[in-house]
Amino acid sequence: MEYSDNALTAYEYYSFKVNYSDCTFLQTTKQFNVTDIVSYDSDFDKINGIRRIYI
């Protein structure tokens, strides 16, 4: 499964400090060229190229 493999690679890249489920979202953002995400999850602050929008 493509996303699981890519998410696992991202999970390892971030030294397991970013939740695995967040890494699956990361792969989707890359696929659709999304750079902003609305979330309460501070793990997204650790990811280069993603800007977390606070509500």
CA distance 48 to 9: 15
Q: What angle do CA 9, 34, 32 make, to 5 degrees?
A: 75
- Give pLDDT, residue 52: 95
Give the mean pLDDT per block of 10 residues along the chain (55 residues): 64 88 88 92 89 89
Note if the pTM is more than 0.85: no
- Give pLDDT, residue 1: 32
Domain total in the chain: 1
Write the DSSP assignment of 8-37 as a string of letters: HHHHHHTTT-S-HHHHHHHHHHHHTT--EE
According to DSSP, residue 54 is labeled: P
- Give pLDDT, residue 5: 62
Structural domain span for residue 29:
2-53
